[in-house]
Structure 1
Amino acid sequence: MNWQKFFNIKLSLIFFLSSLISYSQNLTELQNKYPDESEIALEVSEHYFISLNKNNEIEVKSNSVEDYLLLKNTSAGVSINESLVFSELISVTAFEAYTIGNEAEKFKKTPVKIIVDKPYNSSSVFDSDTKLKVFTFSNLSQGTRKVLKHNLDFKDPMLLHRFNFTAGIPSVSRKIVLTVDKSIEIGYKIFNDTDHLVKLTTEENKKNTTYTFVINDAPIFRNEPKTAGRSYELPHLHFWISSYTIKGEKTPVFGKVEGLYKYYSDFIKNVNKTEDPALKKFTLELVKDAKTNDEKMEKIFKFAQEQIKYVAFESGYEGFIPRNASLVFERKFGDCKDMSSIMTEMAKYAEVPNVNLTWIGTRELPYSYEELPTPAVDNHMIATYERNGEIIFLDATDSQVPFGLPSEFIQGKEALISNGDLFKIVKVPTLTADQNKYEDVYSYVLNGNKIEGKGKLKTNGLTRSYYLNVMSDISKNRKKYIEGILERGNDKLNVVSFTENNIQDKTLPYEIDYIFENDNYVVHAGDETYLNMFLHKPLIDLIFDEERKTTADLDRLQNFEFKTAFKIPENTKVTYVPENVTFEDAFIKYKINFNKTANEILLNYTIENKKTYIKPSEVKSWNESLKKLKSNLNETIVIKKA
């Protein structure tokens, strides 16, 4: 008999039974501690093994455990799905899923029977090998545990997962363990742990070093409106291969931007090596009337925006390697890398210098290249065009952004520009509020309880592109969306008719000429009528919960400008007009100006947000600013019968 094996089995059984008794005893304690929670994570752990195989290649494998306890009864016989993600680059080598019954069920272990592989559906992904393995846990009740264990094999050891130390439910313990061969050096960084809740211990033997990062009673982070990205506040760990040593020769990998650029360069080194006569001929025809390089690039950029349909590819290394421009031109569709590939190649044919492939992370990723020089810093690719020391950011995935402006979701981010053996890191500017203007001029009259009027709305910059991007996906009820843009007064707004201008010409403001009416908008009290002239009240619906834990992203700086005229009804007089107001602080600024004439009341007001990110520590002050604005926008004029 193998006594060591028998001893290990017996020890595991004792540990398993003792854990059941422990959790049974602690159920009431956990219910009292988390009275509003229906579920808790007893353990979430990942153990990575990083080593060199017989061929001196780096291998990364992981074992994971997720163990959840139900604190409340749910619907009878309820089923809950849990899933894990896998792909060509990250394969599942083993898995086990089961429930452990509550005390009344004598802690019976029941394997999950319904296990289904499903595509990882995303409306923006055309071709993906990413899949979900979905486990259906059945007949769950108070005190039941659901356990999921799985092992992963990472085909590319440079593409490693981050580990989150928090979740949307309470966690007793969340842990990541890294067991690393002595011939391999790793780097790691813990983000958002200012209170040092994550504890690190290390152990060494002759062959390995083991790093254990653990957090107990982790804080809860739930989904909140307009969240910038979970990585802004959630405590999490990134780790990477820094170097490995074979026969005394040390090879650096990550840890500096140079290593990241070298890794990226391998993905693009064989792209667009052969000239494509058809694409070259088309390009020369496209730019033949252009007199400057700027005009050439504007035409190329517009072609990529309008003629290359954006679809994402996430199948193996296709998610990292741009396709040749010839193939993109032939198929007329591609992802962000493909759009960048065809723009850079067309620029070459048009003899426009300094147009290069560029990696970038969108705004949901908070990292700089210095603090995280690994592939986790990026999730997007664009092209950049440099002339006279200025860089134009060309993101053709935004089909509406004008040439010369960055897309909304890369503002303020660092970009890594490729140029052969060299690279450059530059920061994308954040557009000013005046560049993203919402300008509305309208006049109206009072007809009983209804107001009736007409006006013209102009939007430019990223405000323009935002509205047109959303409307490009709307095939029905465009009128309803126009009413949403105008936000006239109350939910009784009816846009009687409208005309849109400059939809195709991105150099001009997007305009809407409209005729509108609002029923039941005014309030009558005796011989007095109360009218709120602020038919549009920007920002005030962005008052956040003051217990908010995550940074809010307002997407863009924006200037709202309104010029309104109300015709005073005959045989009436205006007995009250609100005072003019000017206000500015760190978050917003606004100016309100009333002007009463013999026949009209003119109201001009401007409102501007001065920040795109609102941190949790700023929410209270932000709310106070908006409450002041809301108070001013709720002021009414008073009209009395003469």
Structure 2
Amino acid sequence: GYDNESSIETLNLTDKRNKRIAWNINDEAYSTQSIFHNDYRVKYAKLTFPLQGYLRTVKEVKEYKDIKYFTTDYFVEPYRVIKGTMSITIPEWLEMEIKEYHFGNNDIKRLSKKVGADTQVTFKINNLSPMKSEYRMPGNSYIYPHVLYLTQSFKDSKGAEITLFKETQDLYNWYSSLVNDVDIQTTDIAVKVNELTAGLTTDDEKVKAIYYWVQDNIKYIAFEDGIAGFKPDSPQNVFSKKYGDCKGMAILLKTMLIEAGYDARLVWIGTDHISYDYSTPSLSVDNHMITAIMVDGKPIFIDGTEKFNSYGTFATRIQGKQALIENGDSFLLKKVPQATPEFNKEIYQGTFKINGNDLVGIMNKELTGEQASSFLYGFTGMEQDKRQEVMLKVLTDGNDNATVENVSAFDPTDRDAILKLNYDMKVSNAVSSFDDNLYLELDPVRYLANWTMDEDRQNSYKMNNTRVEQKNISLELPAGYTVETLPDAISIDNQFLKVEAHYTLDSNQINYNSQIKIKTRLIEKNQFDTWNTAIEQIKNFYDEQIVLKKA
């Protein structure tokens, strides 16, 4: 792979006699689902081996135009590495630290020696398991053995020392130089700010008006091209085009808030996909930019790319992460607040009756935090003619026997309100009859019932967020029936989950109350047994049936 700051000078294939083999090399742009455009390209070709035991040698020469972009090397590959050697020669004029991560029990040995005035560092590798991409796994930097190259300084042709990234201050200085070089024109932006804040009296009202306007009117498009991977577009360009990447949206928000009279600043941050913090001055430390508004000397973080976040709330992907905040010639380091599980809630209130073999009733569902925002992302991101289909799928939560009608209207742009959905629900074939008894299950959602971790999974599992799911559902006893059996209560409390659920009888009504709290996002591979045992208990609870006896 290469980009605007690098090039592939050589890529060839030879046999065991070092004879050149003709090779059909492809050269294509690289794309991912998360990035709309970048300047990264890949050269690739097909390797063939006529017989087992044949030897092929691939030689690649890649040149970096700027050493600050030479940051990382991973030792693992998509295939098993039986034996390998990686060497790097650090010239006398370059000051570089090589920082190791996750060597652990892997057979990787580091050797250093002098080669003239230079230093050669060699890593000997034996029998490394292949890397594997799995759903909801932590980022690679948390898992796989790799090194960071921290290029600290070099001496130019005259022997003068040029500092690169020795300290966090040096990294901040470079980031600031890119930001300070952005041409900012505020004429049109100021008009819009005055329009948005006209008649508003409180600071919160004014900030929200600006923040929510950017969320509603500027489309987030991840566009990375050379230095633009680090340098923001100008705010007036983002304002006029009505789209931008995270840096463009951040600098537009900053500019608008400053026009409104607030102390707004840019913030560099790494999402939870990245394991490092700013104690390691490297371009690998962060991958995102947001805005902060300073209130009484403390930052309130604002992320324009999070379309449905309310003012003062933050996406899980940056919660608890260290943020680098503009502060003139210096900088501030602050952590984004960590939300509790109670911030992300789904609350169900339902009343059901038995109608033949079906359960019919009314359900009220409330969503807060990222439970609300993720629903709204999915709903508004669909074409109009498909939104109803998405709505019904979400509300039935994968229950093929459930159908939903008469869903109440809601305003997806009202970020400060609890998202409330009221609807009629029917669960077909939920009731079985035998020998004058009725058998049924009352929970139409069965949250977590199928969330067992596959024992063949290679990596740990990372939840989208911590959260609470709460249900209060009642069932009216049909005339002429009494309760024969109610499922036993369940209570679980471990490092991952807190579960309390039970049934009670109140006159002619059965009440079902449950609360499931996911306490932590990460389930380590060696903790799967504990998790799966709890999930099996939950599933068994769901499978226990209410038995009604004919009087």
Residues 539, 626 of structure 1: 8 Å contact kept:
yes
Show the counterpart of 2:233: 323
- Partners of 2:224 and 2:104 lie apart in 1 by 35
| 1:194 Cα offset (Å) | 2.0
Show the counterpart of 1:633: 542
- Deviation per CA, 1:568-626: give whole Å up to 9, x if none: 22222220012334332221112213221232211111111000222223333222333
| 1:517 Cα offset (Å) | 1.7
- Partners of 1:304 and 1:418 lie apart in 2 by 21
The percentage of aligned residue pairs carrying the same residue is: 27
Residue of structure 1 aligned with 2:105, choices 183, 195, 200: 195
- Deviation per CA, 1:151-208: give whole Å up to 9, x if none: 2111221012422222342111244321111121111211112226221111212232
Show the counterpart of 1:515: 424
* Mean CA deviation greater in 489-498 or 298-307: 489-498
Unaligned runs of 5+ in 1: 1-84, 101-105
Q: 1:107 to 1:498 in 2, by over 3 A?
A: farther
- Partners of 2:4 and 2:548 lie apart in 1 by 71
Residues 201, 211 of structure 1: 8 Å contact kept:
yes
Show the counterpart of 1:555: 464
Q: One-letter code of the match for 1:396?
A: G
Residue aligned with 2:67, SS:
coil
Q: 1:290 to 1:174 in 2, by over 3 A?
A: farther
Q: One-letter code of the match for 1:95?
A: L
| 1:209 Cα offset (Å) | 1.0
Q: One-letter code of the match for 2:149?
A: F
Residue of structure 1 aligned with 2:502, choices 576, 593, 597: 593
Residue of structure 1 aligned with 2:119, choices 209, 225, 231: 209
- Deviation per CA, 1:478-537: give whole Å up to 9, x if none: 333223323458322222332341312010122222222222233444333321222222
Show the counterpart of 1:81: none
Residues 183, 245 of structure 1: 8 Å contact kept:
yes
- Partners of 2:509 and 2:198 lie apart in 1 by 54
* Mean CA deviation greater in 374-383 or 254-263: 254-263
* Mean CA deviation greater in 127-136 or 433-442: 127-136
- Partners of 1:131 and 1:298 lie apart in 2 by 40
Show the counterpart of 1:528: 437
- Deviation per CA, 1:223-249: give whole Å up to 9, x if none: 233112122111111112122234554
Show the counterpart of 1:234: 144
Q: One-letter code of the match for 1:86?
A: Y
Unaligned runs of 5+ in 2: none
Show the counterpart of 2:296: 388
Residue aligned with 1:158, SS:
helix
* Mean CA deviation greater in 226-235 or 443-452: 443-452
Residue 624 (1) aligns with residue 540 (2)? no
TM-score by length of 2: 0.93
Residue aligned with 1:297, SS:
helix
Residue aligned with 1:601, SS:
strand
Residue of structure 2 aligned with 1:463, choices 365, 368, 371: 371
- Partners of 1:139 and 1:586 lie apart in 2 by 50
- Partners of 2:112 and 2:193 lie apart in 1 by 59
| 1:300 Cα offset (Å) | 1.4
Show the counterpart of 1:86: 2
Q: 1:326 to 1:438 in 2, by over 3 A?
A: same
Alignment of 1:420-459 (within 5 A): 420-459=328-367
Q: One-letter code of the match for 2:97?
A: G
- Partners of 2:303 and 2:51 lie apart in 1 by 50
RMSD: 2.4
- Partners of 1:616 and 1:625 lie apart in 2 by 15
Alignment of 1:52-201 (within 5 A): 85-97=1-13, 110-113=21-24, 115-137=25-47, 148-195=58-105, 197-201=107-111
- Partners of 1:141 and 1:491 lie apart in 2 by 51
- Partners of 2:50 and 2:549 lie apart in 1 by 66
Show the counterpart of 2:475: 566
- Partners of 1:196 and 1:116 lie apart in 2 by 34
Alignment of 1:402-421 (within 5 A): 402-421=310-329
Residues 84, 126 of structure 2: 8 Å contact kept:
yes
- Partners of 2:363 and 2:196 lie apart in 1 by 38
- Partners of 1:139 and 1:170 lie apart in 2 by 17
Q: How many residues align?
A: 549
- Partners of 1:499 and 1:561 lie apart in 2 by 20
TM-score by length of 1: 0.80
- Partners of 1:140 and 1:481 lie apart in 2 by 50
